[in-house]
Structure 1
């Protein structure tokens, strides 16, 4: 059974060893139509983390995040297609997860070591990633490479520091989507 139509609002989180919001790695039913807004993260490993691997199958799609404020963190955006953890050796190596339509807008972060680590699955890139209106202030000892991107495709608009080339710059006035319709959902 999929996790869908989930709303996360007005969350404040201190999480030094994990993400403020994590999607996966268990996603056998899929994860879709998640809307998160007005989020504050303090002393966290990452703001939003999507984690999966070959053998996990299914999907994470239509994720919408806006108005996040992050303070002191390892990295803001983290998507991993190589999570690699399986409960046993009986997983299906042909079960390739689909990660698509992931939207982040209006993000402010300070004291960050690395902007993003976005790593899709070889031959099966994560697609439809959009990051806009985002300012990431770096720690005094940041990583030399701020955007580590492999096997992804998407766009960016008004993002500092400048994202990797796999997130094509769409100019300053192209904010990522955030649906304005409402639905009956679980509220966290």
Structure 2
């Protein structure tokens, strides 16, 4: 908690009773090369949970979990609202996740302090319940969900393409989905896109999305071109040599 310049790298972590890696109120964090292993039927075994953290890089990790592989958080209920420290400037890349009962990446559900500027790329999801899940609850804080972009996604053996449920009188806006190919399974849901109280656009998406996300021809949803400061930090390694 309340730490700066953290490096966690090249470790194997096994069978935590709860969340494995949980930095709180911290900044300038590099988490790289972790192997995290939990039974897929064990609850609350999140892999990595940046919580009200700024300028964080998570990359080259392999996670097997009974819960979310990466869960982005920022405080719980009234305490999180009062403290008011968002998780922001987070990059996640080259992550492989196995989580049959949860998500590769979750935003929330404890996110009362807010979440902004999250960048995710080069992800492999194997036998996951969902890829990206934004967890919201009016009682924890009425969320303002906007500027959510998905692009360049290939998925196979999918039962449910997308469930996008905003909040009545507070719809989720600015959603962009482009260049997405979803191959549905024989056990697929009849309704592949379930959309309520959302607004945005799609381009080159299969199967076709819902009416609230109309097709806009050739469109590439934007991904930030600038680098976060943490991306320029070089990973340091050290070793201990025994002398007899």
* TM-score of Structure 1 vs Structure 2, range by shorter chain: 0.7 to 0.9
- Structure 2 residue 215 is the aligned partner of structure 1 residue 174: no
1:76-115 correspondence runs (5 A)? 96-115=142-161
Residue 28 of structure 1, CA deviation:
1.5
What per-residue deviation string (whole Å, max 9, x for no partner) do you get for residues 100-141 of structure 1? 000000000000001000000111100001100000000112
Q: Distance in 2 between matches of 1:151 and 1:54?
A: 14
Greater Rg by CA: 2
Query: What is the alpha-carbon distance in structure 2 between the residues aligned to residue 104 and residue 31 of structure 1?
Result: 17
- Give the superposition deviation at 1:183: 1.2
Asked if residue 16 in structure 1 is aligned to residue 62 in structure 2, the reply is no
Q: Which has the higher contact order (CA 8 A, sep 6+)?
A: 1
* Per-residue deviation, residues 55-113 of structure 1 (Å, max 9, x unmatched): 222xxxxxxxxxxxxxxxxxxxxxxxxxxxxxxxxxxxxxx111000000000000000
Could you tell me how far apart the structure 1 residues matched to 2:147 and 2:199 are? 10
Q: What aligned pairs does 1:38-53 form with structure 2 within 5 A after superposition?
A: 38-53=122-137
Give the drift of 1:160. 0.1
C-alpha RMSD of matched pairs (Å)? 1.2
Taking the aligned partners of 1:25 and 1:185, their CA distance within structure 2 comes to 25
1:147 to 2:147 alignment: no
Gaps of 5+ in 1: 58-95
Unaligned runs of 5+ in 2: 1-84, 234-244
Distance 2:121 2:230 in 1: 14
Higher strand proportion: 1
Partner of 1:2: 86
1:132 corresponds in structure 2 to 178
